[in-house]
Amino acid sequence: MTKTIETAFNIVETILELEKAGVAELADELNKPTSTVHDYLQGLEEIGCVVNDNGTYRVGSRFLSIGTRMRSQLEIYEMAKPELQNLAAKTGEHASLMIEENNYGVVLYTATGERAVQVDIHDGDISRLHTTAPGKAILANFSSERAEAIIDHYELTPRTPHTITEKSEIFEELDDIREQGYAIDREELFEGMQGVGRPIVVGDNVIGAISVYGPTGRMDESKITEKVSDMVLETVNVIEVSLKY
Amino acid sequence: MTKTIETAFNIVETILELEKAGVAELADELNKPTSTVHDYLQGLEEIGCVVNDNGTYRVGSRFLSIGTRMRSQLEIYEMAKPELQNLAAKTGEHASLMIEENNYGVVLYTATGERAVQVDIHDGDISRLHTTAPGKAILANFSSERAEAIIDHYELTPRTPHTITEKSEIFEELDDIREQGYAIDREELFEGMQGVGRPIVVGDNVIGAISVYGPTGRMDESKITEKVSDMVLETVNVIEVSLKY
DNA sequence: AGAACTGTCCGGATAATCCGGACAATTAAG
DNA sequence: CTTAATTGTCCGGATTATCCGGACAGTTCT
């Protein structure tokens, strides 16, 4: 159903992968006739979804526009943004806000500290919840039925050599996280990067999670438990209070 | 052509206007049968474009994902981003990067200073080039034929009481801007806000423009000509050098 | 308990997608 | 410099996905 929309997005994603592309190149990549691809591109151009620089197309700014307007409508984003900038400044690393959407974790916003390493991660990126520190913090605070339902949706393929691939192991860790209040990512998402995450809880609902990530050298486990974890907690507390008014 | 894609985006934009909405509400707003709207929503949900919270829909994070990935592929964004943060910190106001796309100005990124007033503007927002300081800076550095072609696409309806509505007046101002190197927005986009913009030029091409906006009280014309304009120039110079390697 | 809403599902008429083919323009090769 | 190959664009009609009326069950008001 709605096959048209799906192929439209496929075309956009393909352009994104190639950075820019012509009709023939895209048609080849998508195994579709050039005439069909051309029809789509023309339609997509009319509504600002792609931009045509004499023959080669790139993705247009319409997506950015819709995406940022959507984000600004989320109260949690507006409350968290300035606090994340504080947190990034204090730690010098990456500070992010994650929410759950459709069984996956979505990074809504990342503030970048002075010393933060350059990683190729963007606002809007999605990941399986058990593969990140903030994702695990969210999972740990869902009901066990809901957490299990989510995990069952996933294929537990590893992302890095350190990614957990055993369901039982995940649940063991979730227990620990619930107890100590924060989750640690030990190079499970990116090799060489460690992070700590804490849930944002208002009433009985987990609204999202805050995390700080940095290179393993600067973010070893003792530093997390001694300092960074507390800074994240402070940030979370401020956000939780803002959300309650 | 590609009517399906167009209505899909209409639905998304309508949800955005209503923040969240149900099938019936949307069907009513769009003058379409509920069954049709339902079909679309189901398709859009499957690909992460909308999210269904038991009956009411909101826009999903897929747009944010595509938008930010697109943005990161633009060299000018990557070069300008840290400089804009500097500029925002130094001035305390809003510092933005604008590019031209499809005859309109697109704000790719805005850094927010400490004292910056809260305005409802987002990354990805588009505007007619002659209604903003950076837009005028871009226009002034296009060839006069290209500038005229762009202006002719517009309806010169005012946005605020100060918006220029006479074609001849626009071109007079573009001459001044080319001479003095920067453009000023005198409450033409937002009442109570003034701004200054400068073009980013590499070789013979205008790649974009940098601007600083603030409340008229703090951004009067003498302050712009004496101080802010120079800060913007510094920023532009750094970016231009980065782009040339 | 009834009425008026909802969101969801089905199936077929309708109309848009989809694509083969032809064309000119540009680029690559000979 | 000529030829061949490849490109983006356009057309028109067969195909098939869209589109919508109608029916249904679940909620929320009256």
- The Cα B178–Cα B223 span in angstroms is 20
Cβ contact (<8 Å) for B5 and A2? Answer: no
- The Cα A87–Cα B114 span in angstroms is 15
Q: How many domains does chain A have?
A: 2
Residue B48, pLDDT score: 94
Domain edge (last residue) among A12, A37, A60: A60
Q: How far is A128 from chain B (nearest CA, A)?
A: 15
Residue B103, pLDDT score: 93
- The Cα A174–Cα A147 span in angstroms is 10
Residue B167, pLDDT score: 92
Contacting residues of A for B120, CB less than 8 Å apart:
72
pLDDT tens digits, residue range B184-226? 999 999 999 999 999 999 988 999 999 999 999 999 887 777 7
What average pLDDT does the structure give for chain A?
A: 94
pTM above 0.85, yes or no: yes
CATH number reported for the structural domain that contains residue A19 in this entry: 1.10.10.10
Residues in chain B predicted with pLDDT less than 50, given as ranges, are none
pLDDT tens digits, residue range A175-231? 999 999 999 999 999 999 999 999 999 988 999 999 999 999 999 887 777 789 999
> Do A43 and A92 lie in a common domain?
no
**Angstrom distance, B109 CA to C25 C1':** 38
> Do B18 and B123 lie in a common domain?
no
Cβ contact (<8 Å) for B61 and A6? Answer: no
> Do B129 and B33 lie in a common domain?
no
> Do A154 and A192 lie in a common domain?
yes
Residue A245, pLDDT score: 79
Q: Contact A209/A201 with Cβ under 8 angstroms?
A: no
Entry field: residues in chain A: 245
**Range name among A93-97, A136-140, A145-149 with the lowest pLDDT average:** A145-149
CATH number reported for the structural domain that contains residue B189 in this entry: 3.30.450.40
Cβ contact (<8 Å) for A9 and B47? Answer: yes
User: What integer is the mean pLDDT of A96-110?
Assistant: 96
Chain B interface includes A12 (CB < 8 A): yes
- The Cα A186–Cα A132 span in angstroms is 9
> Do A210 and A235 lie in a common domain?
yes
Instruction: Return the structure tokens found at B236.
Output: 């532009």
Q: How far is A228 from chain B (nearest CA, A)?
A: 24
Residue in A6, A16, A39 nearest the CB of B1: A39
- In this structure, the dihedral spanned by the alpha carbons of residues B197, B231, B109 and B155, taken in order and rounded to 10 degrees, is -10
> Do B209 and B103 lie in a common domain?
yes
Residue in A39, A40, A68 nearest the CB of B123: A68
> Do B100 and B216 lie in a common domain?
yes
Chain A interface includes B75 (CB < 8 A): no
Instruction: Specify the pairing of strand A126-128 against strand A104-112.
Output: antiparallel
Domain edge (last residue) among B60, B77, B97: B60
B231 φ/ψ angles, rounded to the nearest 5 degrees: -65, -40
> Do B145 and B183 lie in a common domain?
yes
Domain of residue B35, residue span: 2-60
Find the helix packing angle between A3-18 and B34-46, rounded to 10°. 30
Residue A49, pLDDT score: 97
Cβ contact (<8 Å) for B63 and A67? Answer: yes
Residue B224, pLDDT score: 76
Chain B interface includes A4 (CB < 8 A): yes
> Do B88 and B41 lie in a common domain?
no
> Do B90 and B182 lie in a common domain?
yes
**Angstrom distance, A33 CA to C22 C1':** 15
> Do A48 and A105 lie in a common domain?
no
> Do A138 and A196 lie in a common domain?
yes
